[in-house]
Amino acid sequence: MTEKLVVIGAGMASGRMLEHLFEANPGAFEVTLFGAEPRGNYNRIMLSPVLAGEKTFDEIVTHDAEWYAANHVTCRFGETVTRIDRKQKIVSSAQGDLAYDKLVIATGSAPFIIPVAGKDLPGVMAFRDLDDVNAMVEAAGKPNAKAVVIGGGLLGLEAAAALRGRGMDVVVLHLMGHLMERQLDPAAGYLLRKELEGRGIKVHTKAQTKAVLGDSRAEAVLLEDGTVYPADIVVMAVGIRPETRIATDAGLYVERGIVVNDQMVSSDPDILAVGECVEHDNICYGLVAPLYDMARVAAKTLLKQDAAFRPVETATQLKVTGVNLYSAGDFAEAEDREEIVLRDASAGVYKRLVLKENRILGAVLYGETGDGGWFFDMLRKGTDVSRMRDTLIFGQAYQGGAPLDPMAAVAALPDDAEICGCNGVCKGTIVSAITGKGLTSLDDVRAHTKASNSCGTCTGLVEQLMTLTLGDTYNPAAVTPMCGCSDLGHDDVRRLIKAKKLKTIPAVMQELEWKTSCGCAKCRPALNYYLVADWPDEYADDYQSRFINERVHANIQKDGTYSVVPRMWGGVTSSAELRAIADVVDKFSIPTVKVTGGQRIDMLGIRKEDLPAVWADLGKAGFVSGHAYAKGLRTVKTCVGSDWCRFGTQDSTGLGIRIEKFMWGSWTPAKVKMAVSGCPRNCAEATCKDVGVICVDSGFEIHFAGAAGLDIKGTEKLGLVKTEDEALEVIVALVQMYREQARYLERIYKWAKRIGYDEVRRQILDDAGKRKAYFERFVFSQKFAQVDPWSERVSGKDKHEFKPMAQIGFKEAAE
Amino acid sequence: MNAINETWFAIGSLDDIPRRGARCVRNGNMTIAVFRSADDRVFALEDRCPHRNGPLSQGIVHDGCVTCPLHNWVISLETGMAQGADEGSTAVFPIKVEAGRVLISLRPAVEKAA
């Protein structure tokens, strides 16, 4: 008979426990899961990147509704269990009673709120769940918003850095003498403080909070020393305490946390507890690795298998982008301890090892953390380091003669060395999964082992392991097949298309021995682009191989509506254009109008059926498609240049418009964004674009290979030319070279880095013959590409795309 | 189950649907995506990806599957099941071609997992 399992708390520990349970024996229990938050399990460690805007909440969801459904978990989210009746084995909530055979308490922890006056004012918050994050993001959206973060530990600093990144004025108050005193020694704390101050965060140590001031909401924080910091929000991140109320009320044995034995069983044999609410051997845990261990043990206990929780040392990393920090073990000073320190002030590197009797007790690394895993491994094993003491601090690369490369360092790690700290995955597990299950990609390894699946800081190590294990078959730098449909890489496919004169997608698939009948969503758009680029006059564009945005010439939004961005040449507009846009917005009740980063106007929330009519009206005012949806030329941003600006050296607006009018409509491997600035003050931000121009007195500096998206990278300087005509020729030739050589979806900065900046300079600047040939091939291809797709569709092209095929029944008659 | 009479609705001709493409059919508040494969087979799915409700009709059609335009989930046209490591499914409707006419039944052949 299936036993009834009730789980209170839908966090990371109980989520992991359920995963283990379902994996081992899917039918063993009928599971009901209560969660106080109105949502399922998500990766709470990643709330910091969500707050920083580096990830979305969707990306950190661990279990979605489908997962719960597939495992037949009855979810009762947003519902608090109020009572446990241990005699009758029943839990109660506001919705009624529920019987259990086994109960797991995983209520986690509650943030500790310092008991000062004003702590309950609106605007005072913790940093614990998504609601806190949303509240902080909202506060950060107001102009000149100020935040005071109380607590200079891991969580507080991640919050502070993220809020600062969102533009808030941030003050960190910390009770102790230096930041993160539980993980860092004063020297590393100082480096960290300097880094944060460099980002504009004010740090106040030895700060005793006296009160939060304000009438109806938080307005400021008052310290014991009389300092007052104004604040729109006050984030308390001073620590957590186990959430044990329900267990206490039920009469379970509770000290600081719910006391459990090695099997995670509480003082009641039918009640287990896991996670931050637990106390094991007088210790409460807050880092994820031991919680996952508890989850594994609890699942085994529930399945009546032997297992015991054996806490191990864990290491800590701070998740603040751009700060490398690693600490593990115990690094307090004592008489019988020795230390080895390496400081490199200019590089901002600090490393400290604490030794006792030739064994590592603790390690603090700042600035350069690559050897963290190696030190940590020796720390856990109590390795005798006397033989390598002299060079120990320089890391694994310096042991045994010549410096080793990182690959050899990973090879030298023993099988039980921990690679992924979050999920407690060791080298041996990863290697045997790769060989045993035939895994060939990083995603496969993540799916099967969970390594690199939580905070992601070990991704490099995992990739090195894959290279080691798979040898030449896994070499991220070597040829990766385009997709599962072919063994050929992008470069080979491009080369063969030219060499064999392949001019249709079926011809490519036939000649190059595609393994599928009609490709997939990865290779078809790529092939379509390669053929468009290589045979502009002969190839007939394959409409069904284009991504929806390029098929309907608008940008699909998350609700299936579209956004429309007309071209505004060089970012210049007029009253007539603005009036036409206003009329379209009113006529079609367009819900959102937004100014884009590329100096034009986006109309969002347009129904697909309305697109042709919207375009027709825009077309009457002279607008053409802005290709905001295209792997093609997007915008050319400009500043007002010598027309208006007292610093302008050249007509940057005019040049920008000229470039845009020359190049619009061209398809490229990935989007191309450009800018022209009229002087080195660079108001058009040309130095983070795919191609940028900085005007100077003596001519035009051409820049390329910048990025300001997933990666941030300043441009490389291509060279200086004297006239506008030369500037246009160089830019066009550069883009054509990119069109002919790059892999589909590869931005200019990645392509240029791959083939070498000097190679680009050599072909485009130094070799006038090559430059002219590129230029002419671009001009030729524009003859076929420069057609406004909107006016084509207003005249009836692809009209099946914009209306339903049929309507069955009536709207009212919906069942 | 077989006792229930199937009602077939004619929704147009096969030529109305592009090869390796899709058209939409509205039924009350529901949209059904009707697909045509490279080899002229037809399929009907509710026009909602099990992941984030993306309109599958707007995706790229390839080898018996469609790739959702929002986050690239790959859904089988035949079963409505998500492929690869993703889990979930969307409702499938019986559909057939008779004498060039496309006919659809509104009783889902495969219910979406609850």
pLDDT digits (tens, 9 = 90+) for A132-158: 999 999 998 888 899 999 999 888 999
Distance CA A521, CA A526 (A): 9
Provide CB contacts within 8 A for A225, sequence distance 6+: A207, A208
Q: Which residue in A85, A69, A62 sits closest to A14, CA to CA? A: A62
Cβ atoms of A748 and A690 within 8 Å: the answer is yes
CB of B26 less than 8 A from some CB of A: yes
Long-range Cβ contact pairs of A130-134 (< 8 A, separation 24 or more)? A130/A37, A130/A39, A130/A42, A130/A47, A130/A50, A130/A57, A131/A37, A132/A47, A133/A47, A133/A50, A133/A51, A133/A57
Cβ contacts of B61 on chain A, cutoff 8 Å: 544
CB of B88 less than 8 A from some CB of A: yes
Pairing mode, strands A716-721 and A699-704: antiparallel
Cross-chain CB nearest to B9 (options A69, A517, A808): A808
Give the torsion sign (CA, A509, A510, A514, A519).
Answer: positive
CB of B70 less than 8 A from some CB of A: yes
Distance CA B80, CA B48 (A): 10
Q: Where are the beta strands (DSSP E) in A36-181?
A: 74-77, 81-85, 90-93, 96-99, 102-105, 109-111, 124-126, 146-150, 169-174
Distance CA B66, CA B63 (A): 8
Pairing mode, strands A359-366 and A325-329: antiparallel
| Stronger pLDDT, A346 or A486, i.e. the higher one | A486
**pLDDT of A814 strictly over 60:** no
> Within 10 Å of residue A318's Cβ, how many Cβ atoms?
24
Distance CA A267, CA B98 (A): 69
Q: Please name the helix (run of DSSP H) or strand (run of DSSP E) that holds residue A20, with its range, or none.
A: helix A12-24
Asked if the ipTM is above 0.95, the reply is no
Distance CA A760, CA A220 (A): 55
In a mutational test of the B interface, the residue from A524, A805, A810, A815 whose CB has the highest number of chain B CBs within 10 Å is A805
Q: Which residue in A445, A440, A447, A497 sits closest to A474, CA to CA? A: A440
Q: What is the mean pLDDT of residues A619-632?
A: 95
CB of B112 less than 8 A from some CB of A: no
Cβ contacts of B25 on chain A, cutoff 8 Å: 804-808
Determine the residue type at B65.
Answer: C
pLDDT digits (tens, 9 = 90+) for A214-256: 999 999 999 999 999 999 999 999 888 899 999 999 999 999 9
Cross-chain CB nearest to B62 (options A519, A548, A551): A519
Q: Take residue A1 and report the two structure tokens written for it.
A: 């008979």
Q: Please report the pLDDT score of residue A52 as a whole number.
A: 86
Cβ atoms of B75 and B90 within 8 Å: the answer is yes
Cβ atoms of A418 and A429 within 8 Å: the answer is no
Q: Please report the pLDDT score of residue A421 as a whole number.
A: 75
pLDDT digits (tens, 9 = 90+) for A280-298: 998 888 888 889 899 999 9
Residue A679 class from Cβ within 10 Å (0-12 exposed, 13-18 middle, 19+ buried)? buried
Concatenated DSSP letters for A683-734? TT-GGGSSEEEEEETTEEEEEE--EESSSEEPPEEEEEESSHHHHHHHHHHH
pLDDT digits (tens, 9 = 90+) for A574-606: 999 999 999 999 999 999 999 999 999 999 999
Q: Dihedral angle at the C-alpha atoms of B97, B100, B105, B106, nearest 10 degrees?
A: 120
Q: Take residue A515 and report the two structure tokens written for it.
A: 């393994």
Which residue intervals of A706-813 are DSSP H helices?
A: 724-741, 748-755, 757-761, 768-785, 789-794
> Cα A175 to the chain's mean position, in Å?
32
pLDDT digits (tens, 9 = 90+) for A97-122: 999 999 999 999 999 888 999 999 99
Q: Please report the pLDDT score of residue A779 as a whole number.
A: 95
What is the rounded radius of gyration, in angstroms, for the C-alpha atoms of chain A? Answer: 31
Distance CA A103, CA A307 (A): 18
Q: Please report the pLDDT score of residue A499 as a whole number.
A: 84
Cβ atoms of A675 and A689 within 8 Å: the answer is yes
- Distance spanning both ends of chain B, measured CA to CA: 20
CB contact under 8 A, B63 and A517: yes
- What totals of helices (H) and strands (E) does chain B contain, helices first? 0, 10
Q: Which residue in A115, A114, A118, A125 sits closest to A216, CA to CA? A: A118
pLDDT digits (tens, 9 = 90+) for A400-424: 544 446 677 777 777 887 888 777 7
User: Given pLDDT bands bounded at 50, 70 and 90, which one contains residue A473?
Assistant: low
Rounded to the nearest 5°, which phi and psi values hold at A217? Answer: -155, 170
Q: Looking up tokens 């072919």, which residue turns up?
A: A486
Residue A308 class from Cβ within 10 Å (0-12 exposed, 13-18 middle, 19+ buried)? exposed
Rounded to the nearest 5°, which phi and psi values hold at A716? Answer: -95, 150
